[in-house]
Structure 1
Amino acid sequence: MLRTCLLVAALLLAPVQAAAKQVMDLAGRMVTIPDRVERIVIGEGRYVPALAVLDRADPVGRVVGMMGDYEDVDPATYAKYRARFPRIAEIPRIGRASRESFSIERAIVLQPQVAIFGLDGHGPDTRSGEVIRALEATGVAILFVDFRRDPLVNTPKSMELLGKVLGREREAGEFVAAWKAALAEVEDRLARARPAPARVFVESRVGLDSGCCETMTRGMMGRFVSAAGGINIAEAMVPGEAGSVTLEWLLANPPDVYIGTAIGGVDSLDRPWLALGAGVPAEAARVTLARSMGRIGIAELAAVRNGRAHAIWHHFYNSPFNIVAVQAFAKWLHPTLFADLDSDRLLRDLHDRFQPFPLDGAYWISLK
């Protein structure tokens, strides 16, 4: 009964849209949106940096509702946004960090014009039929973006889509041009040199549990391996975007390069996680990597013994700034070929141009 009443109330209160346009989202759907979008809900709090690319002055000004994942999974970066834009803490939360936690009732009451969801992720996605039907019934336009399923294809498309929706095509175009140029630096050099691919293992969310080893393969950061000139060895065992392999399998199929993803931050340096991101000094990050590489079995890998073990900020897997991770991977996989590639400068430049506060902290680190 409550849900029915809310649906009726939302239909009665929904503003009439005087003008509209059509866009195609990343799910291939033609969606009609208002010409002027002023009220949005976002299916992941971690979309805020993408919004900031388009509006550095007030990235959350149009956000009337958001999931509560950001402060939970990346509290250090969220704190940066909260310090710069205190209103972010006042935005109603319409769920936590899973699509099952999304509240249709709360979202409808907020009267958004547009809901921005991911093809996959920690909020509503293309499988969330009840959410889609309920919101569309009240006149909410639903758009799907993607920074994680096929990030190196869909990131520029997603940013261009957001630019159209929010009337920020120029800002989106500037970001996409810089993003594509950075990717071309890697692709063009690999195409000319044709180096032998390095064998790579990506261990995801290192230290989250005591077992080994969670990994990414045909999605998320797993895609960065092939883009950087490598072979993701776990693809032979893990058929989807992510999964796990045993330590015994990893020791029997040793990689040339090991890369772990860091879910820890400046407030968790004493936890068993790798720590990177906002506020984390490089030497503190290296200490967490060295500690992790001392684990039974992992320490025996030739990649670790030879100093070809590295750590990367985990949240690049779902970020429009993923391109800097591709460049970092390229330097690790082919250090001679990419000796002059400055991925640190790329991150600084992109952050200075497209984010609303200074860059602070190490976002990747090497054992040696």
Structure 2
Amino acid sequence: MSRLHVLRRLSRCAFAALAGVSAVLSALPAHAEIQVTDVLGRQVTLAQPAERVALGFYFEDYIAITGPSAIDRLAAVSLNYWKGYRPLQYEAYLRRFPQLAGLADFGDADSGTLSAEKIIATKPDVAILSAGQFDYLGAAASAIEAAGIPLVVVDYNAQTVARHVASTLVIGRVMGTEDRARELAENYEAMMADTERRVASAAPATKPVVYVELGQKGPAETGNSYGKGMWAGVIDKAGGLNIAAGKVGNWGPLAPEYVLSSRPDFVFLTGSEWQSMPNALLMGFDIDRGTTLERLAAYLSRPGWKDLPAIEGGHLYAVYHGGVRSLVDYVYLRYIAKALHPTAFEDVDPRAELVSYYRRFLPIEPKGTFMLRLPDGAAQ
């Protein structure tokens, strides 16, 4: 057999082998489908990790879970829930990621503009919505899925460890960042378990009496307190006796006379980036400590407040209102728990834990004022 004939035969064999491999590869899917069960127990299928996301809520949690590619993979957001409610937080991310300015806005439930049609128009690979947003859409949510867009529901508002962990793992699965999701979930579980253990070890004979007030309106007008959920849930976990429990529903103002007669041992005012509200307790990103202190001290002008045990004992605090219902809310729980049980939390530094969380999981620094105590002596 000639050398040329041998070479031709080898070439035909090699071509046949390659053709066989090609046939096998073409018969395989280009990628494995992603099966996920969201927090409502809904079975959702994605063709692959999402590259275009319509995100309704929990912006920092999504960024922490998704990692460095998080912003580039956003197609649309419910803008008012970010830029409207946490404007300086949004600005901090906008400075770092200017492309945020170009994201589509699909509306929000509070203004009645949240729209399935707007979500569909952005052509995302997935829509990640809160449980409240899903409920708001009602039957219209099915239109999103009918358009071929998987819809996944997550829920940090429930303020339970189980829902926090489940929501985190769901986002990680959808985004293909399951290792980060597990790390965040484990961190949250560990910090909450440590907090629960410390609170249980404190076990005072009587629970410290606590009053929490939303600081939007300033000292001249009583803001909402929380009977259950939101800050009420935090006070419960911190081992405090919430004077609003059973007096208001989820939230509502308490009568000033009732607050005085309850003689709270601790008072926590919640503040945020409410720059459009002239008397609000300002806190959060890019709010300096002096501004928060000045606004907090103004509450001492309220009739009878200087005689409260909380004020006499130097226990008037300000905490960031955006600090609950997120993967970093354990920091604010630990801040309040340390105020109530200083010995049990003696070696805990919640401010340092906040900075550590951002350095570990987020692309910006928490520059601003997020937790603060009116200095002893300022009450006189």
Note whether the superposition's TM-score is higher than 0.5: yes
Deviations 1:232-275 (A, max 9, x none): 22112123x3233222222222322111110236x57x931112
Deviations 1:113-161 (A, max 9, x none): 22111123xxx23242133122122122222211223244422221111
Question: Contact 1:119–1:149 (CA<8 Å) still a contact in 2?
Answer: no
Partner residue of 1:345 out of 348, 352, 362: 352
Question: Contact 1:200–1:232 (CA<8 Å) still a contact in 2?
Answer: yes
User: Which residues in structure 2 correspond to 1:93-242 (within 5 Å)?
Assistant: 93-96=105-108, 98=110, 100-120=112-132, 124-195=133-204, 196-207=206-217, 211-239=221-249, 241-242=250-251
Aligned residue for 1:211, secondary structure, equals coil
Q: 1:36 & 1:58 partners in 2: Cα distance?
A: 12
Displacement over 4 Å in runs of 4+: 297-300
Question: Contact 1:36–1:167 (CA<8 Å) still a contact in 2?
Answer: yes
Question: Contact 2:55–2:127 (CA<8 Å) still a contact in 1?
Answer: yes
Q: 1:188 to 1:80 in 2, by over 3 A?
A: same
> Corresponding residue for 1:360?
367
Aligned residue for 1:71, secondary structure, equals coil
Aligned residue for 1:72, secondary structure, equals coil
Aligned residue for 1:31, secondary structure, equals strand
2:308 matched to 1:301?
yes
Question: Contact 1:151–1:219 (CA<8 Å) still a contact in 2?
Answer: no
Alignment size in residue pairs: 345
Q: 1:51 & 1:91 partners in 2: Cα distance?
A: 16
Aligned residue for 1:116, secondary structure, equals strand
Q: 1:305 & 1:59 partners in 2: Cα distance?
A: 47
Q: 1:340 to 1:36 in 2, by over 3 A?
A: closer
Aligned residue for 1:61, secondary structure, equals helix
Question: Contact 1:272–1:292 (CA<8 Å) still a contact in 2?
Answer: no
Query: Per-residue deviation at 1:365?
Result: 0.6
The residue type paired with residue 128 of structure 2 is I
Q: Percent identity?
A: 28
- Scaled by the length of structure 2, the TM-score of the pair is 0.83
Question: Contact 1:22–1:30 (CA<8 Å) still a contact in 2?
Answer: yes
Question: Contact 2:119–2:127 (CA<8 Å) still a contact in 1?
Answer: no
Query: Per-residue deviation at 1:205?
Result: 4.0
Deviations 1:190-236 (A, max 9, x none): 22332242221211243279532302232122211111111222112
Deviations 1:99-126 (A, max 9, x none): 6211222211111222111123xxx232
Q: 1:263 to 1:362 in 2, by over 3 A?
A: closer
- Scaled by the length of structure 1, the TM-score of the pair is 0.86
Deviations 1:297-347 (A, max 9, x none): 545533123221111111112322111001101111112322221111111
Query: Per-residue deviation at 1:169?
Result: 0.8
2:74 matched to 1:85?
no
Q: 1:94 to 1:299 in 2, by over 3 A?
A: farther
Q: 1:346 & 1:147 partners in 2: Cα distance?
A: 20
Question: Contact 1:68–1:97 (CA<8 Å) still a contact in 2?
Answer: no
Unaligned runs of 5+ in 1: 1-16
